[in-house]
């Protein structure tokens, strides 16, 4: 009988975790120091460029992360954990749910995803990482100076080490609410 109660409790907890409302990219950037090093769920519009993949905050995000007069973009760089990396911020204590990642990719393809004409919105779960010392990762008073954050073009103030992806929706450009 005790086992039945434990199983019911576990099922309830799993359902409660699934029903957790994801954060927006804007909320994640606003709360970046509080959430750094924690597992988070975030929903946002995927942006793809020559320098990787990231989630961009919606246009209604009024928050500006400014360090020493330099404005950071409201984006979260997306990547997978690499426990072999020399950089400890690339490490994660979980395995990527590749089945969920493939399923999300399949949903995007079936939805007609083409980054030139539409956008992908998805829910990502993973380890949120940021630098506590972003003030030291900018060069103020030099126009166009590089921010030393995350990504190949290191301009993101944070990154998400992806564990899983779900709830993919394809949105056509006229309907999107994503910053360029």
Q: Which residue has the tokens 């490490």?
A: 91
Kindly state the tokens that stand for 72: 């950071």
Looking only at Cα atoms, what is the longest distance across the chain? Answer: 68
Cα–Cα distance list, 4 to 7, 9, 12, 18 (Å): 5, 9, 12, 21
Q: What is the mean pLDDT of the chain?
A: 84
Alpha-carbon distance of 171 to 60, in angstroms, equals 17
- Classify residue 111 by burial, with Cβ atoms within 10 Å: 0-12, 13-18, 19+: middle
Residue 18 pLDDT greater than 70, yes or no: no
CA atoms within 13 A on the CB side of 63: 17
Angle at 12 between CA 10 and CA 17, to 5 degrees: 95
Mean pLDDT in residue range 161-169: 97
**pLDDT tens sequence across 56-112:** 999 999 999 998 888 899 999 999 999 999 988 899 999 999 999 999 999 999 999
21: left (phi over 0), alpha (psi -120 to 50) or beta: beta
Alpha-carbon distance of 82 to 74, in angstroms, equals 24
CB 44 within 8 A of CB 56: yes
Helix residue spans in the chain (DSSP H) = 2-18, 25-30, 32-35, 98-110
Confidence (pLDDT) at 162: 98
CB 145 within 8 A of CB 69: no
**pLDDT tens sequence across 129-146:** 999 988 888 877 777 777
pTM score, two decimals?
Answer: 0.81
């Amino acid at each position: 009988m005790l086992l039945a109660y434990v199983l019911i409790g576990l099922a309830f907890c799993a359902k409660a975790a699934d029903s957790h409302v994801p954060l927006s990219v804007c909320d994640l950037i606003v709360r970046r120091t509080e959430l750094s090093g924690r597992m988070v769920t975030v929903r946002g519009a995927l942006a793809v460029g020559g320098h990787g993949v990231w989630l961009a905050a919606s246009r209604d995000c009024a928050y500006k992360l400014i360090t020493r007069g330099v404005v950071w973009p409201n984006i979260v760089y997306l990547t997978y954990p690499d426990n072999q990396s020399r950089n400890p911020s690339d490490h994660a204590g979980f395995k990527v749910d590749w089945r969920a990642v493939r399923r999300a990719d399949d949903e995007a393809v079936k939805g007609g995803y083409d980054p030139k004409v539409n956008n992908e919105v998805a829910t990502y779960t993973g380890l949120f990482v940021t630098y506590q010392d972003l003030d030291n990762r900018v060069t103020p008073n030099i126009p166009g100076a590089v921010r030393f954050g995350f990504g190949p073009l290191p301009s993101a103030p944070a990154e998400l080490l992806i564990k899983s992806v779900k709830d993919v929706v394809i949105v056509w450009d006229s309907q999107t609410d994503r910053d360029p």
